[in-house]
């Protein structure tokens, strides 16, 4: 069996080699950077630019030129102008854009490679590679964790909104044998009622009252002890699932967790899992579920990156800027490995890549991340 080589994009290691430095004089590369430097997301653009500068400083190769241009905030005209300006400088590869909204526009530039930070479309297009943390990769890690924990009945919950059909498509790829989907309304007033039906809350509440009435008529010590224990409960009887995957984030996620807690779904009996988490500490204080699991990027690397960014710029980075950092490292590695970048085919390598976000690879026509599972417990993020 061929051993898979893990390539560390540890920039202080890869290129500080006398042979590579000897060739620097004959090699140069121009890399475009498309980020929203104007509009409502301009703070994200600034953060991406600083992250790229930090990676460039760590690489220390003076033959790399970064050409930043404004992609605007969902501004197609601005996007095309910027792309053409970058191409006019001689650059053949561009980091960006941050999302997949205008991918059709990118396809027009067949001779230019785009390394997008989007997580929505992990499939590698003719000239587009998306390195964002995809839902596919997150679901894959969750599947493995559920199977490892021997859970047999899973509910996959997600909201009815503009992303519903996209989530429907991604779920079709999962390999869990016994699961059901549950689509919910994001209005908290409606949501609670929907989850009451999902968890059979009314019947479980009746079960409790009926059992208590029976025990009240008994005088033996065992019945009294059972009654005392039931007085601490809200329902009697378990729900018809042992794991739940909530594909949501932010306040919507917190509303779902609150509703599940209200309907007395015990996180000691049911495995609670979610997605799209970047170690947001507010989850400690606003989350009613104490044992919440999710896949994510490498926590130690993430903390180290944030600390280095703050030390360099006295600012906190937007979480996705770590992707721009890795994008530059990836381009640099491919460029040095192949003595240049001729086409997108240069990125179809058999080796696994290890960047700041963790391990990822280019296989089966898409980018896949190997994510770790983390748990929120006692105001800490714990790796499982």
The helix (H) or strand (E) run that includes residue 142 is helix 135-148
Radius of gyration (C-alpha) of the chain in whole angstroms: 25
Contact 239, 151 (CB under 8 A): no
The helix (H) or strand (E) run that includes residue 179 is strand 179-184
Q: Provide the pLDDT for residue 14.
A: 34
Q: Provide the pLDDT for residue 377.
A: 81
Domain covering 136-199+239-295: architecture: 3-Layer(aba) Sandwich (3.40)
Mean pLDDT across the stretch 357-382? 87
Q: Provide the pLDDT for residue 287.
A: 66
Q: Long-range contacts made by residues 125-128, C-beta under 8 angstroms, separation at least 24?
A: 126/344, 127/344, 128/103
Q: Provide the pLDDT for residue 87.
A: 96
CA distance 201 to 66: 57
Share above pLDDT 90 across residues of the chain, in percent, rounded to a whole number: 62
* Half-sphere exposure (Cβ direction) of 217: Cα atoms closer than 13 Å: 4
DSSP 8-class letter at 357 = T
CA distance 216 to 135: 51
Range list of β-strands (E), 279-379: 292-296, 352-355, 358-363, 366-370, 372-377
Q: What are phi and psi of 65, to 5 degrees?
A: -120, 125
Domains 6-133+299-369 and 136-199+239-295 share a fold: yes
52 has pLDDT over 50: yes
235 has pLDDT over 80: yes
The residues, ordered by sequence, that sit 6+ positions from 124 with a Cβ below 8 Å of its Cβ are: 130, 344, 347, 362, 365, 366, 367
CB atoms inside a 10 Å sphere around CB 141: 21
CA distance 304 to 127: 32
User: Considering only CA atoms, which of 263, 317, 276 is closest in space to residue 52?
Assistant: 317
272 has pLDDT over 90: yes
- pLDDT interval class at 20 (50, 70, 90): very low
Rounded to the nearest 5 degrees, what angle is found at the Cα of 59, between the Cα atoms of 327 and 100?
A: 10
pTM of the model: 0.85
pLDDT tens, residue by residue, 104-126:
999 999 999 999 999 988 888 88
The residues, ordered by sequence, that sit 6+ positions from 175 with a Cβ below 8 Å of its Cβ are: 143
Which string of b and e fits 163-195 if b means at least 16 CB within 10 Å? eeeebeebbeebebeebeebebeeeeeebbebb
24 has pLDDT over 60: no
Place of tokens 């640099």: 332
Mean pLDDT across the stretch 241-258? 92
CA distance 68 to 37: 9
Q: Provide the pLDDT for residue 240.
A: 93
Q: Determine the CATH number of domain 6-133+299-369.
A: 3.40.50.2300
Mean pLDDT across the stretch 227-238? 89
Rounded to the nearest 5 degrees, what angle is found at the Cα of 95, between the Cα atoms of 94 and 101?
A: 100
Q: Where are the domains of the chain?
A: 6-133+299-369, 136-199+239-295
pLDDT tens, residue by residue, 324-338:
999 999 999 999 888
Mean pLDDT over the full length of the chain: 87
CA dihedral (292, 298, 303, 306) positive or negative: negative
Q: Provide the pLDDT for residue 233.
A: 86
CB atoms inside a 10 Å sphere around CB 109: 18
pLDDT tens, residue by residue, 131-188:
999 999 999 999 999 999 999 999 999 999 988 999 999 998 888 889 999 999 999 8
């Amino acid at each position: 069996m061929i051993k898979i080589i893990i390539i560390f994009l540890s920039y202080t290691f890869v290129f500080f080699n006398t042979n590579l430095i000897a060739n620097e004089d004959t090699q140069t590369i121009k890399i475009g950077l498309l980020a929203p430097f104007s509009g409502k997301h301009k703070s994200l653009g600034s953060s991406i630019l600083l992250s790229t500068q930090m990676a460039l400083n760590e690489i220390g190769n003076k033959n790399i030129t970064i050409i930043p241009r404004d992609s605007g905030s969902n501004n197609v005209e601005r996007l095309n102008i910027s792309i053409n300006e970058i191409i006019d400088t001689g650059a053949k590869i561009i980091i960006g854009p941050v999302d997949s909204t205008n991918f059709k526009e990118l396809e027009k530039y067949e001779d230019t490679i785009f390394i997008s930070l989007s997580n929505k479309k992990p499939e590698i297009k003719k000239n587009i590679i998306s390195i964002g943390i995809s839902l596919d990769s997150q679901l894959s890690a969750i599947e493995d964790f559920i199977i490892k924990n021997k859970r047999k009945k899973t509910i996959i919950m997600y909201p009815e909104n503009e992303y519903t059909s996209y989530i429907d498509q991604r779920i079709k790829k999962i390999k869990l044998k016994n699961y059901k989907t549950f689509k919910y309304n994001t209005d908290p007033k409606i949501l609670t009622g929907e989850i009451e039906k999902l968890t059979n809350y009314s019947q479980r509440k009746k079960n409790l009252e009926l059992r208590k009435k029976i025990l009240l008529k008994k005088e033996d010590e065992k019945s009294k002890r059972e009654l005392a224990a039931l007085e601490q409960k809200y329902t009697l009887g378990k729900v018809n699932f042992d794991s739940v995957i909530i594909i949501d984030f932010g306040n919507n996620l917190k509303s779902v967790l609150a509703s599940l807690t209200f309907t007395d779904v015990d996180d000691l009996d049911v495995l609670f899992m979610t997605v799209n988490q970047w170690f947001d500490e507010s989850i400690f204080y606003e989350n009613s579920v104490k044992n919440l699991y999710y896949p994510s990027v490498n926590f130690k690397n993430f903390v180290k990156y944030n600390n280095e960014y703050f030390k360099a710029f006295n600012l906190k980075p937007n979480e996705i800027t770590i992707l721009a950092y890795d994008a530059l490292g990836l381009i640099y590695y491919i460029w040095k490995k192949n003595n240049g970048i001729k086409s997108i085919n240069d990125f179809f390598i058999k080796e696994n890549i290890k960047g700041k976000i963790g391990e990822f690879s280019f296989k089966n026509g898409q980018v896949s991340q190997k994510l770790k599972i983390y748990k929120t417990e006692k105001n800490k993020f714990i790796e499982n």
